[in-house]
Each structure stands twice: as structure tokens, then as C-alpha cells.
Amino acid sequence: MVNVVPLNLSVALANGSVSELIQRDTILPASATELFTTSADNQEAVFLQIYEGQRLMAKDNTLVAQLSVAGITPLPKGDAEIEVTFTVSTKGVLTVTASERKAGNKTLEVTPDLKRLTPADVAVIVKKAEDAAEEDCELLGELEDAEKAAELEVAIPEIETVSVPAVPVVPMQDLD
């Protein structure tokens, strides 16, 4: 029998959704790396929450690990890059490492046990995710729209109200 990842493995994002690094049913051993950025100016640390599950929102999945990356170079929002790597062994042991690319600050590895779910547990989780897929997509779309609107508010400078004296309008027939 081939060992596989029972459920998606993801990192929680600032908006409450998750970014999937390793998909369900990936053959073990498996590894994936993704780059993330800071969500605020001059951010010197990030707190990573690692989830297992099939849903698009972190709150609907199971938290399996947490770790912090400290000593991030203070830069404008989105400029500092945090490299997160998930590695799952043939025995199903997840190892998470994270580091800031510029400073090279590496966090300690976190190794939660992923073998605690039975096949029946996994089937229930997958069924619930399938049933909630449409609702999850709508919620994620709303979050993305709200983020875009917030970015536009920041990007558009305040417009000053300009007062222009009214000019009388003369009908065309009066010009003859």
C-alpha cells in the first residue's frame, strides 16, 4: 500500500483563508516550498499557523502547528520574503521550516504527528468540505473583493473638491 497525505496541508493567510502547500492524496514522501510576504510595513516577525483539511478558510480546518519567524528585516509591506517549506516523511511526519530570505533567519522546525486520523475521519472531513465548497468559494471571493477595495482606497489619493463658478447655459436657438 502506498502512503499518501490524507488531507491538504496549508498555511493560514492574513485574510483568514489558507494557502495550500501539499494536496490531499500526494504520495509520500512529499515536499513543497512557497514564498510569502509581510502584510504590514516594517513587520519584524510573522506568526505561521499550519492547517490540515480540505476547506478554504483556516477556521474550518484543523490547526496542526504554529511557529514564529522573528528578526525579519523591516521593509515596506510585501517586500520581505518568507520561505516556508513543508516536508512529509514516508511515515507521515510533517516538518515545517521557515526563513526570511534576505536575513536568512531560520525558525526551528515544527513536527506535528499527522497519523491521528482514521480513514473514516478523513472521509467525513472530505464530505463536509465537498458540501461546503460553494459557500467557501463565495466567502473567499468576498474576502478577495474586500482586499482589492482596501488596496484601491490606499492607492487613490484624496481628491480635493474644486469649486467652479456656475456658467449660465444658453439654448442653441438663442444664439441665432
Give me the count of residues in the chain: 176
44 or 108, which is more confident: 44
Q: How confident is the model at residue 56 (pLDDT cuts 50, 70, 90)?
A: very high
Q: For residues 97, 32, 64 and 41, what is the CA-based torsion angle, rounded to 10 degrees?
A: 60
Q: What is the mean pLDDT of residues 101-112?
A: 65
pLDDT higher than 80, residue 160: no
Q: What is the pLDDT of residues 81-101, one digit of tens each?
A: 999 999 998 888 888 888 888
DSSP-assigned letters across all residues of 118-153: -HHHHHHHHHHHHHTHHHHHHHHHHHHHHHHHHHHH
Q: What is the mean pLDDT of residues 34-51?
A: 91
Best CA proximity match to 43, nearest among 78, 74, 14: 74
pLDDT of amino acid 106: 65
pLDDT of amino acid 29: 95
Domains with residue ranges and CATH for the chain: 9-155 (2.60.34.10)
Q: Which helix (H) or strand (E) holds 45?
A: strand 45-52
pLDDT higher than 80, residue 168: no
145 contacts: CB under 8 Å, gap ≥ 6 = none
Q: What is the pLDDT of residues 108-157, one digit of tens each?
A: 566 666 566 777 888 888 888 888 788 878 877 887 777 777 666 655 55
Sign of the four-CA dihedral 75, 78, 83, 86: positive
Q: Is the peptide bond before 171 cis (omega within 30 degrees of 0)?
A: no
pLDDT higher than 60, residue 167: no
Q: What is the mean pLDDT of residues 46-70?
A: 91
pLDDT of amino acid 140: 76
Q: Which of the 8 DSSP states describes residue 160?
A: P
